[in-house]
């Protein structure tokens, strides 16, 4: 017997006014989505106002204000407790699914797997990146909530014992519009990641501070062909290398304060 399934979107927000205005016009085409669970980290712009306008007769928008406390996984796990559906599609405010992915979400009554991963296309400072950091990676974004939980204070992932099926559908990621926001987020994320490693009793050293960032740059720029993305490609590769440097340097500082 066919089960008629519905989907809950899980969304974390913090001052996402600009992203929400541009990236969420696709909802009308996603017929299986009947709920958006928002966990908002004290936004002080028009984020909440815009989110409320996404509500329709079919789609309920439920907003919960909850401080991030430097742990993205805990935010998402909290959000899952507020969902009424078993099937969860999680996105960031600056992301949107392509047409093929929306079509897939509209036909989920007979799914064989509990977890699905999709490719992500990054648009960085106005330029699409086809190589480097996230090239050829699949991100687990659609799952049955009964079979896992989120883990990781930053760059959180859905941990599950069930098989993950990769699909060649795309999520478009309209990331940093400016270098200022890029550097700000690198600094913020490296704070969380270094504290996470410190809490796990990990240590940093001079060699790690030197060679982790160097290895990261070589991997992203050369092995993952980031150089083919031109100037935006080297900016991204250097930024990710800088993130690696900050994590190890801040971890060293935490261990020697």
In the chain, domain spans? 7-174, 179-255
What phi and psi values does residue 62 have, to the nearest 5 degrees? -115, 120
Give me the pLDDT at residue 42, please.
97
* The architecture CATH gives domain 7-174: Alpha-Beta Complex (3.90)
Give me the pLDDT at residue 12, please.
98
pLDDT tens, N- to C-terminus, the chain (257 residues): 446 899 999 999 999 999 998 889 999 999 999 999 999 999 999 999 999 999 999 999 999 999 999 999 999 999 999 999 999 999 999 999 999 999 999 999 999 999 999 999 999 999 999 999 988 889 999 999 999 999 999 999 999 999 999 999 999 999 898 999 999 999 999 999 999 999 999 999 999 999 999 999 999 999 999 999 999 999 999 999 999 999 999 999 999 98
Distances (CA, A) of 209 to 134, 197, 223: 23, 14, 21
Give me the pLDDT at residue 195, please.
97
Residue 23 near residue 96 (C-beta atoms within 8 A): yes
Could you tell me which residues come within 8 angstroms of residue 172 by beta carbon, excluding any fewer than 6 positions away? 95, 96, 97, 98, 120, 121, 123
Q: What CA–CA distance (Å, rounded) separates 66 from 41?
A: 5
Give me the pLDDT at residue 1, please.
43
Give me the pLDDT at residue 135, please.
85
Q: What CA–CA distance (Å, rounded) separates 226 from 45?
A: 35
């Amino acid at each position: 017997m066919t089960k008629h399934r519905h989907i809950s979107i899980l969304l974390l927000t913090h001052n996402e006014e600009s992203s929400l205005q541009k990236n969420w016009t696709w909802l009308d085409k996603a017929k299986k989505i009947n709920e958006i669970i928002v966990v908002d980290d004290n936004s002080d712009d028009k984020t909440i106002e815009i989110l409320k306008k996404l509500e329709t007769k079919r789609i309920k928008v439920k907003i919960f204000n909850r401080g991030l406390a430097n742990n993205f996984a805990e935010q998402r796990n909290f959000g899952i407790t507020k969902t009424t559906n078993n099937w969860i599609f999680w996105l960031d405010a600056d992301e949107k699914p392509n047409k093929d992915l929306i079509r897939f979400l509209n036909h989920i009554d007979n799914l064989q797997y509990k977890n699905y991963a999709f490719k992500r296309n990054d648009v960085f400072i106005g330029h699409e990146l086809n190589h480097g950091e996230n090239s050829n990676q699949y991100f687990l974004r659609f799952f049955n909530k009964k079979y896992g939980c989120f883990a990781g204070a930053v760059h959180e992932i859905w941990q599950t014992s069930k098989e993950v099926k990769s699909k060649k559908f795309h999520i478009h990621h309209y990331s940093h519009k400016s270098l200022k926001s890029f550097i700000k987020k690198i600094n913020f994320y490296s704070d969380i990641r270094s504290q996470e490693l410190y809490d796990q009793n990990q240590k940093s050293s001079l060699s790690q501070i030197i060679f982790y960032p160097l290895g990261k740059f070589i991997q992203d720029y050369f092995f993952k062909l980031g150089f083919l993305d031109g100037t935006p490609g080297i900016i991204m590769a250097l930024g990710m290398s800088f993130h690696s440097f900050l994590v190890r340097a801040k971890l060293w500082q935490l261990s020697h304060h």
